[in-house]
Amino acid sequence: MYTSSMSSWTLTCTRSSARRSRSQTSTSNTSFTRSAEGSVAGDGLLVLRGLKYVHTANVLHRDLKPSNLLLNASCDLKICDFGLARTGSERNFMTEYVVTRWYRAPELLLSCEHYTAAIDMWSVGCIMAELLGRKPLFPGKDYVDQLKLIIKTLGPPSEDDLTFINSQKARAYIRALPPSEKVNFRKKFPDADPLAIDLMEKMLQFDPRKRIDVHGALKHPWLAQLHDEAAEPGAPCEFVLDFEEATLTEQNVRDLIYEELVTHYHPEK
């Protein structure tokens, strides 16, 4: 778990619980108001700082959603629940059945076998929209409805945007959908900073190759007053999850547990 701290600035966030999830905050009557645009910017910055550490470790979280962002009374944010996380090089684990549906990127809905950290950026874009609008942006009823809702909101993707999709059937299905006009997010979120909407739209690019990455997001003008590269460290090395690929016998597990106990509790041995 990576923790990002708000020690260098103050946001006008009121919390009644030290371990309240963002999903509870965004839908309750808690004083999370538009009186402080910096509140949303600060929350977004913390998520991106944590995600920078995760992505520079070559890890895909694969289940970013409001309930996996924990914010305490001191405005310290933690990204939690790495149960679906995998490294970007683990092709054997590239299943599309990851990420809670409302925060799932188009490439996952379209069953693309290979995907990148861009899936996490899509999720952050959905979370950001939820912070701005106080409700989920894409509350699809099933994966087909989810895809339709995304295209209805963002407008039909261009032919160039469809080239990342391997399945000809999937491309044909998207082309056959009724034409729709892109939602005007400035009208949808009239109180939001135009720069906030610009960053959100860069995260919610249908084509993952055109989606902004975490480094670009941290440098976006909307976060300019809060951005501090010295306070945004990357991981010192890439994370290795190859232990999940090992075939272990019962004796192997016993030996590993014993070794861990000795190393942790009796390092002198």
Active site amino acids: 63
Report CA 201 to chain centroid distance, whole Å. 14
CA–CA separation, 36 and 122 (whole Å): 24
Q: How do strand 69-71 and strand 20-21 relate by DSSP bridges?
A: antiparallel
CA–CA separation, 123 and 102 (whole Å): 8
Residue 15's SS3 state is: coil
Query: Under a CB-based contact definition with an 8 Å cutoff, are residues 212 and 55 in contact?
Result: no
The string over 16-51, giving b where at least 16 C-beta atoms fall within 10 Å of a residue's C-beta and e elsewhere, is eeeebbbbebbeeeeebeeeeebbbbbbbbbbbbbb
Closest of 101, 113, 208 to residue 167, by C-alpha: 113
Query: Under a CB-based contact definition with an 8 Å cutoff, are residues 58 and 91 in contact?
Result: no
CA-derived radius of gyration, the chain: 20
Residue 35's SS3 state is: coil
Query: Under a CB-based contact definition with an 8 Å cutoff, are residues 99 and 123 in contact?
Result: yes
